Amino acid sequence: MQSSVISSASRFRTEVFPRRGDLYRHLAQNGQQPKALVISCADSRVIPEEIMQSGPGEIFVCRNAGNIVPPTAQFTGGVSASIEYAVVVLGVRDIVICGHSDCGAMKALLQPDSLKTMPNVQAWLRHADAARCVVCESYPDLESKAAARALAMENVALQLNHLRTHASVAARLARGEMTLHGWFFDLETGGLLALDGKEERFVEVAEGAEMPVAVTAAERRVA
């Protein structure tokens, strides 16, 4: 028996697509021009397009377990390629790394034994191990749920640092042509926290208020 999710694909073609046909034809003929790259967790409960209330062609999304960005010198793969393509070809000027509450990847990092039967997941999550060390040493008294929440936020900050090692991102930052954002989405409340680079902490995003940013667009030359 087909799942309802699979069956829904046919309803998209017959019911949804006709209402948005003009938009899809425009995108097919003129290509995509997304304004931002969003790197989020692959968790099925986290939908960047829904969180940002965006439509087709508006954001370029890369999803993986733990919203991880491997440092460019250590790993070449789909995430690195997506970043390079989004920056160099699509010309995005904003990149968002979005973590979330109740993240399975973060909980697994805090329980290493749970990864013994998943060697690929274990290897992938090593790119977040520095965040785990921060939580273990700086938040030693947190119970498991609070520790996983803190780890999800520390992981966003870590992955933003990794993101800056990518040549295309580093070049755009130095030219003042890019802004980096770190977000944390709360599944239970729908709340969104943003990393404030000046305060070096996550703050609640208030309706109508200016969105805090992790790294602002500012031209930089150190030589």
CA dist 221 and 223 (Å) reads 6
Annotated binding residue at 196? no
Contact 213, 156 (CB under 8 A): no
Annotated binding residue at 136? no
Annotated binding residue at 43? yes
Residue 125 CB burial class (10 angstroms; 0-12, 13-18, ≥19):
buried
Long-range contacts formed by 5-11: CB under 8 A, 24+ apart:
none
Beta pairing class for 192-196 and 201-204: antiparallel
Which residues in the chain land under pLDDT 70?
1-2, 74-75
Other beta carbons within 10 Å of 101: 21
Q: What is the pLDDT of residue 1?
A: 47
Report how far apart, in Å, the C-alpha atoms of 57 and of each of 9, 142, 146, 178 are: 19, 41, 36, 19
Q: What is the pLDDT of residue 127?
A: 96
The amino acid present at 31, given as its one-letter code, is G
Superfamily per CATH, domain 31-202? Carbonic anhydrase (3.40.1050.10)
User: For residues 12-30, b (16+ Cβ closer than 10 Å) or e, as one string?
Assistant: eeeeeeeeeeeeeeeeeee
CATH 3.40.1050.10 range(s) for the chain read 31-202
Q: What is the pLDDT of residue 98?
A: 98
Contact 48, 61 (CB under 8 A): yes
Read off the tokens for 25. Answer: 């034809």
Does an H or E element contain 161, and which? Answer: helix 144-163
Q: Where are the beta strands (DSSP E) in the chain?
A: 36-41, 59-64, 94-100, 179-185, 192-196, 201-204
Annotated binding residue at 186? no
According to DSSP, residue 219 is labeled: B
